[in-house]
Amino acid sequence: MFRPNDIFTPNPSQQDIDTTLKEMTEHGDSLFPVAVHYTNHPVHQENMIHPHWHRELEILYVYRGLMEVKVEGLSYVVREGDILFIPANQLHEALNYQMNACAFFAIVFDASFIESRISDHIQQTYLDPLLHSMEQSTIHFTNNCSDILAIQQLIITIIDTFALKESRFELTIKAQLLLLIKHFSRYSTQVTPAKLVDSKKKLNTYRCKKIILYIEENYQSTITLEAISSHIGYSKEHFCRFFKKHFRMTFFTYLNQMRIKKAEYLLLHSDLKIIDIALEAGFDDPNYFTSLFKRETQMTPSNYRKKMREFTSM
């Protein structure tokens, strides 16, 4: 029997979202950082997408029905055929709207997949403002948009190409994404930026995300307080106070919890040995990893793998 998850990337669950609402799921891999998710929620489902954010960009396409999508506090009612472009690192969620069912696709990709290798005219003029500007807001394309049919066709081509995975499909997806960026860039300067919150609060939010992204990029290696404090531009003491205030735990507690989350994902989605998972998650001492894992989950890594796989196969 056909199941969408046999073709499209499995949807993340709440278990894949950490305490800062960052989604831990890998979207594709380092060689092809693209994922296409399909979701079909019934009329009674209240939560369509759990609140989360991620470093990748996202394109939402409503295939059937409608829902309410909130991005950084702004609300969009997205109807059948509508498209949302959600910039990187923005908190977003989706809710049931007036008791309607909704089926939608989410194309999630890393900016590096379509960027120029050097800072050329295309990168500076079209890609940087859209992909990296902190002021870039969500773009909502509706049936009133003059480009809607062309944009819809590009998205449908990406979805079909991802599903079929024929020879050289990666080239087709990259080409279609660049054509989408051509359309999106026409509207990026026309979008009124979201109402600015207090500048200090905004700066603190930016620093929190910068901290998380640094950890995400370096968690497999040794991370020292000196290194991450310098990255943020703080002294060690100032960094520790800032982290405790905004994350409500110490830096190393957060780092260990994040590594455990990574290990949980690998235990469920790979057949790696426990010792290899410990190393992949950033623990250089397998015994310490097992001890910490049991303290956090009340199960050993091997018991966790067995129990969770039995649960997901039910």
pLDDT tens digit sequence for 268-298: 888 899 999 999 999 999 999 999 999 988 9
- Number of Cβ within 10 Å of residue 116's Cβ equals 13
Domain chopping of the chain, boundaries: 4-188, 199-312
Distance CA 224, CA 252 (A): 9
- Number of Cβ within 10 Å of residue 131's Cβ equals 21
Confidence of residue 314 (pLDDT cuts 50, 70, 90): low
Confidence of residue 193 (pLDDT cuts 50, 70, 90): very low
Residue 150 is classified by DSSP as: H
What's the pTM? 0.67
pLDDT tens digit sequence for 219-269: 999 999 999 998 888 888 889 988 988 888 899 999 998 899 889 889 988
Residue from 262, 220, 218, 201 nearest 228 by CA: 218
CATH class of 4-188: mainly beta
Q: What is the mean pLDDT of residues 163-185?
A: 96
Residue 73 is classified by DSSP as: T
CATH no., domain 199-312: 1.10.10.60
